[in-house]
Amino acid sequence: MEHGQLHQNPQPQVRNTLKIVVSDDLPASALELLRAEGWQVDARSGRSPADLAVDLADADALLVRSATKVTKDLLNAAPRLRIVGRAGTGVDNIDMTAASGRGVLVVNAPGANSISVAEQAIALVLSLARMVPAADQAMKAGKWEKKKFLGTELRGKTLGIAGLGRIGQEVAIRARSFGMQIVAHDPYISQEIAGTLGVELLSLDELCQRADYLSLHLPSTPETKHLFNDARFAKVKRGIRIVNTARGELIDEAALKRALESGAVGGAGLDVFEKEPPTDWSLAQMPSVVATPHIAASTEEAQELVGLDTAAAVRDFLRDGIVRNAVNFPSIHPEELQRLQPWIRLSESLAAIVSQMGPARVEGLGLRYYGSLADSRATDVLASSAAAGILRPILSGGVSIVNARQAARERGIEIVESRSTRSRHYTSLVSMKLHTADGERWAEGTVFEPNSPRLVSVRGVNVEAALSGTMLIICNDDRPGVIGEVGTILGKHKVNIASFALGRNDTGAVGILNIDEDANAASTLEKAIDSIKQISGVREVWLIRLPQSYS
């Protein structure tokens, strides 16, 4: 078994009865890999949903790219389906809730196109430095304009990389061969990994102020949407050149256009856009922009490798019960998994709390299990759930409790688990510490009957609170009047308190407020928090948003 793989005992199957449906185009090598097992492979693209549902009635596996929409209705039409393979990274076209509910494994092919995307990023950097597209266009128009296209060398220039994951690391390796200095921003990459690449880690503001070229490799999340806007462009090094092969939503395109017109940004290489194809072509048509139609992963090699990786994952599961690159399946006996579900939710919620206690570079994650929970042989899934809770909001590519440990290892985040049978006033307890460059964050929780995860301690202060929705955690001096002022401020800003819990010891007090958050009133809540921070005696205030699926 390859390192990092998981095993599940497969259901006995008669080899020649397995049917694999491939509904989008895959390379011939991927199809041959499946046919070599003696299985029936029905590979036809362009089927209607109704026709595909008929063909899936007796299918064991379905392989798709992005065109096929794997809906709940489609899954319900496939009673024998055991696995869906997505030839690519994103799984937005698959109803993950329905798949998990049906017990259908979903696997993808993360990282198979990393080299191709990294090479496209470098190609755009070179195109901006040497004005290759514009020079080629002039030549095709019969114009010899040698003096017009005076370029610059990459040697000695600083490349900033926002997001030092698989692709960002490949970009760094290639850029160094041009003699560039490499700096990066990624709070989830350790100093050790960055050091092996010869990369200096910086804050995003520092990165933008130092970089001559900036290559974006961040996921699309609510936090990263329009991360590069007017305010950000006002603080970048003047003349910076920006390359985006990640997600169009990272950049406010109207703001980028203004920055290009003013000279704050010297050029842009864009492979992705907010709307594809664009409805407004003015940005892509600017002379200082090199634009391509989302082709960074479109190479023969990447498409071949993505198809092969996906087919191999499907084959290994059906033939040997090996689970690779899964996005929705822990390797645990179903009965044990059912018993651990509330503890899985608890672990992710605790991770959400400690990870939202301010920005900091994550270095390690520690979990200690107390009481009867310490006797379980399947508690490693709790650590995986916690790691997923920390990494999922900031990573693309389907981070789950199956692959969260690997994702953590790739970022130099150490996960340590320990057990104790010592009584802690609860039948079972999870104690979680997040080790960061700025110190430790500590929270503990348990599960009340029937299946209610509860927070029972923050920073060593015992305080019991429901784990749901939006929370405010306030650390303050233990003196009269503080909580009253908090309530007055929230009332003034029309923020409703759903519940309140207070804990205290000789170090101070901790208040936990579960609040009703209107999605349209985020700015009002921020103003309320700013006011709370000004209260005498208040030390720290954290806004915590727990995963909606667990609220």
pLDDT tens digits, one per residue of 362-389: 999 999 999 888 887 778 889 988 998 8
- On whether the CB atoms of residues 544 and 356 are closer than 8 A, the answer is yes
What residue type is 162 in one-letter code? A
Element (H, E) at 75: helix 72-76
Q: CA–CA separation, 53 vs 47, rounded Å? A: 9
Region class of 412: left (phi > 0), else alpha (psi between -120 and 50), else beta: left
Q: CA–CA separation, 435 vs 201, rounded Å? A: 18
Sign of the dihedral through C-alpha 62, 66, 67, 71? positive
- Residue 95: predicted pLDDT: 93
Give the pLDDT band of residue 202 (cuts 50, 70, 90).
very high
Burial of residue 139, with CB atoms counted within 10 A of its CB: 0-12 exposed, 13-18 middle, 19 or more buried: exposed
The mean pLDDT value for 256-264 works out to: 98
Q: CA–CA separation, 338 vs 454, rounded Å? A: 18
What residue type is 119 in one-letter code? E
Nearest Cα to Cα of residue 204 among 351, 353, 361, 388: 361
Element (H, E) at 84: strand 83-86
DSSP string, 111-176: TTTHHHHHHHHHHHHHHHHHTHHHHHHHHHTT---GGGG----STTPEEEEE--SHHHHHHHHHHH
The mean pLDDT value for 186-203 works out to: 92
Q: Which residue has the tokens 């922009």?
A: 289
Q: CA–CA separation, 247 vs 92, rounded Å? A: 14
- On whether the CB atoms of residues 171 and 209 are closer than 8 A, the answer is no
In the chain, the domains with their CATH numbers are: 6-112+300-323 (3.40.50.720), 114-291 (3.40.50.720), 330-458 (3.30.1330.90), 466-546 (3.30.70.260)
Nearest Cα to Cα of residue 169 among 139, 155, 189, 153: 189
Residues involved in catalysis: 247, 276, 294
Which of 269-278, 341-350, 510-519, 542-551 has the highest average model confidence (pLDDT)?
269-278
Q: In this structure, what token pair is assigned to residue 474?
A: 């306030």
Q: Which residue has the higher pLDDT, 525 or 260?
A: 260
Q: Which residue has the higher pLDDT, 449 or 215?
A: 215
Q: Does residue 3 have a pLDDT over 50?
A: no
Cis before 277? omega within 30: yes
Give the pLDDT band of residue 335 (cuts 50, 70, 90).
low
- On whether the CB atoms of residues 94 and 84 are closer than 8 A, the answer is yes
- Residue 406: predicted pLDDT: 80
DSSP state of 11: P
**Strand-strand pairing, 439-448 and 428-436:** antiparallel
Q: How far is C-alpha 449 from the geometric centre of its chain's CA atoms?
A: 32
What residue type is 226 in one-letter code? H
Q: Does residue 521 have a pLDDT over 70?
A: no
- Residue 14: predicted pLDDT: 39
Mean pLDDT, rounded, of the chain: 89
Range with lowest mean pLDDT among 152-166, 315-329, 395-409, 455-469: 395-409
Q: Does residue 550 have a pLDDT over 60?
A: no
The mean pLDDT value for 248-262 works out to: 97
Q: Does residue 205 have a pLDDT over 50?
A: yes
Give the pLDDT band of residue 398 (cuts 50, 70, 90).
low
Q: Which residue has the higher pLDDT, 184 or 408?
A: 184
Is the whole model's pTM more than 0.85, yes or no?
Answer: no
Query: Tens of pLDDT along 4-61?
Result: 232 333 333 334 589 999 999 999 999 999 999 999 999 999 999 999 999 999 999 9
**Strand-strand pairing, 6-7 and 322-323:** antiparallel
DSSP state of 45: S
Q: Does residue 185 have a pLDDT over 80?
A: yes
What residue type is 360 in one-letter code? A
- On whether the CB atoms of residues 230 and 198 are closer than 8 A, the answer is no
DSSP state of 228: B
Nearest Cα to Cα of residue 497 among 508, 507, 486, 505: 486
The mean pLDDT value for 538-548 works out to: 87
- On whether the CB atoms of residues 87 and 26 are closer than 8 A, the answer is yes
Cβ contacts of residue 505 below 8 Å, gap of 6+?
460, 461, 462
Q: Which residue has the tokens 């960061």?
A: 436
Q: Does residue 334 have a pLDDT over 70?
A: no
Q: Does residue 250 have a pLDDT over 50?
A: yes
- Residue 404: predicted pLDDT: 82
Q: In this structure, what token pair is assigned to residue 33?
A: 């890999």
Nearest Cα to Cα of residue 237 among 264, 260, 261, 209: 209
Cβ contacts of residue 232 below 8 Å, gap of 6+?
208, 255
Q: CA–CA separation, 30 vs 47, rounded Å? A: 20
Do you know the residue count of the chain?
551
Q: Does residue 446 have a pLDDT over 80?
A: yes
The mean pLDDT value for 82-89 works out to: 92
- Residue 549: predicted pLDDT: 45
- Helix, strand, coil share of the chain (percent; to 5): 35, 25, 40
